[in-house]
Amino acid sequence: MIFKEHLPSSKVIWHMPLSWLSNFTKASQIIKDSEFSIQGIYIDIQKKDIDFIKKIRHFLREHSSFISLILRPLDDISSEEVSHLSDYTVISVDSSSLSTLDNLPKNCLFLLKSFVPLSDLETLLQKGDGFILDRKAIDLSDSFKKSLSFIPYYQKEITELCKKHHKVCLVQSDIMDSMSIQGTPTRAEVSDVSLMVSQGVDGLVLDQKVVDGPYLQGATSVIIDTVLASPKHIFRNIPLTDASSVALAACNMASIIKIHAIVCDTLDMAYHLASLNSPVPVFVLTKDQDTAQKLSILNSIFPFISHDSSHPLSISKTKELLKDSYAHSSEFSFILLSYDSSKYSLSFEKINS
């Protein structure tokens, strides 16, 4: 992970066009050119695409930044066949399929293709890692009896449910769609992105037609700029534990005084900070690449792999990296959340350049 200022909280995810699956060179080059702009690649795959997926996975693992690989198996391939190749496996669900969901793969995201009552969604979250809300599919579903004005409310309820349970919430469809044919977005599209940021959505999935269009980089930049300019609100409706209380204290501090970042060293704390909708970037120390890839689509989370066996050495190395990255600032302040000897500690650090 390259530490830098102005990191977006909600992440950009590309839904890869089918045409890219036959051209690894094109796909890998476009991803490489945007390595610090996107945090996820979402692909619908069939059996014939397995070799391409293996190449892309290897490419992403060798890459300098962390990009999650999200795979949705289609009819001729099972989720078990792709789960070992992905950071997340997508399973489509609707209200009629809830009772048949058994033997699910690890790191499973549920793609909501129709309206599912919130009580059923809470049950679903016990079986998987989060949701992808396909707003366009829900709009057109015969089972959806409410007006379209209900969609923003439903989106907000799903996001808050995911935060409450430390799960992932992604939204796809109708995000910068006009930029598939024109170089500037509409005001409504920018407002829509800003709303999702304020709700704390983890990732925004750009549709295939935008990703395959001539204004992909422009659409990606507009989303990032909008995310950075949008106000963020700490989500406080979470069960209070020792870890969540420490995370909430850190977020409150960051919202009151000038804090550039939060640094933590445990997976559990990373999920707490993402669920709270941290007002500043969160750099997470991990020794595992698979964990880093999985964390990269979480709200405000930016993983950093440290191979140091000593915990104090990892912290010291992180401080040096932060100091180098923010050398242009006269001073850099961050909160360090550490877990050692069965207890959490919170400290305020200031580095003078």
Q: What DSSP string describes 59-90?
A: HHHHSSS--EEEEEE-TTS-HHHHHTT-SEEE
**Identity at 188, one-letter amino acid code:** A
What pLDDT was estimated at residue 235? 86
- Which tens digits make up the pLDDT trace of 84-139? 899 999 999 877 777 778 788 889 999 998 888 888 898 889 889 999 999 887 75
| 99: Cα separation from own chain's centroid | 28
Q: Measured between alpha carbons, how far is 258 from 244 in angstroms, rounded to an integer?
A: 22
Q: What Å distances lie between residue 254 and 83, 88, 160, 278, CA to CA? A: 37, 31, 21, 8
**Identity at 219, one-letter amino acid code:** A
Angle at CA 105, nearest 5°, toward 102 and 110? Answer: 75
Q: Measured between alpha carbons, how far is 299 from 297 in angstroms, rounded to an integer?
A: 7
Task: Give the helix ranges, DSSP H, for the chain.
Answer: 24-33, 50-62, 79-83, 118-125, 135-140, 150-164, 187-199, 208-211, 216-229, 242-256, 267-275, 289-295, 311-325
Q: Measured between alpha carbons, how far is 256 from 185 in angstroms, rounded to an integer?
A: 33
Bridge pairing between strands 343-352 and 168-172: unpaired
| 339: Cα separation from own chain's centroid | 24
**Do the Cβ atoms of 109 and 70 come closer than 8 Å?**
yes
Q: Measured between alpha carbons, how far is 116 from 138 in angstroms, rounded to an integer?
A: 10
Angle at CA 226, nearest 5°, toward 225 and 232? Answer: 115
For the chain, helix, strand, coil in percent to 5 are 40, 20, 35
What pLDDT was estimated at residue 5? 57
Q: Measured between alpha carbons, how far is 254 from 207 in angstroms, rounded to an integer?
A: 34
What's the predicted TM-score (pTM) here? Answer: 0.91
CA dihedral 48, 53, 56, 58 (to 10 degrees): -120
What pLDDT was estimated at residue 4? 55
Which residues in the chain come in under a pLDDT of 70?
A: 1-5, 64-65, 139-148, 308-315, 324-330, 353
Q: Measured between alpha carbons, how far is 171 from 206 in angstroms, rounded to an integer?
A: 9
Cβ-count burial 227-254 (b if 16+ within 10 Å, e if not): beebebeebeebeeeebbebbbebbebb
Show the domains of the chain with their CATH numbers: 11-229 (3.20.20.60), 242-352 (3.40.1380.20)
